[in-house]
Each structure stands twice: as structure tokens, then as C-alpha cells.
Amino acid sequence: MQYIIQLRIQHALKLLRETDMTITQVAMESGFYDISDFCRKFKNKFGCSPKMFKHK
């Protein structure tokens, strides 16, 4: 299960870097249907929220 989550997070990272999708769209496209869970997992992995990462 952890492997699948890591794949989803990596896919989300790619979408955040390469598209203009919203955070919600990125989460849904990456297989996360609970946005707060996505944000929490992303922050645990990268040390910042998806929103902060997108604006870097």
C-alpha cells in the first residue's frame, strides 16, 4: 500500500511541476479523493504543502 501512495505522490509532483491544474485536480488525478489526506502525505514527503510547492 505504501508503494502505491508513493507512486501517487510522485505523479502529483509531476503534475504540479508541469501543468496549471489546481491542487484539487492534481489530487484527484493522482488517485487521492480526500484532499486533506493528499496535502498531509505530500507535506510529510516534501516538507511543504502542495500549494507552497506549486508557487516555488
Residue 48 has pLDDT above 90, yes or no: yes
Give how many domains the chain has, as a whole number.
1
Residue 7 has pLDDT above 90, yes or no: yes
Domain housing 47:
2-54
**C-alpha cell of 36?**
486533506
Determine contact, residues 30/11, Cβ cutoff 8 Å: yes
**C-alpha cell of 40?**
498531509
Determine contact, residues 20/27, Cβ cutoff 8 Å: no
Average pLDDT in the 32-51 region?
96
Which domain CATH number covers 17?
Answer: 1.10.10.60
Count the residues in the chain.
56
Q: Tell me the per-residue pLDDT of 11-39, one tens digit each, with 9 for 90 and over.
A: 999 999 999 999 999 999 999 999 999 99
Predicted TM-score (pTM) of the model is 0.89
Determine contact, residues 23/39, Cβ cutoff 8 Å: yes
pLDDT at residue 1 in the model: 82
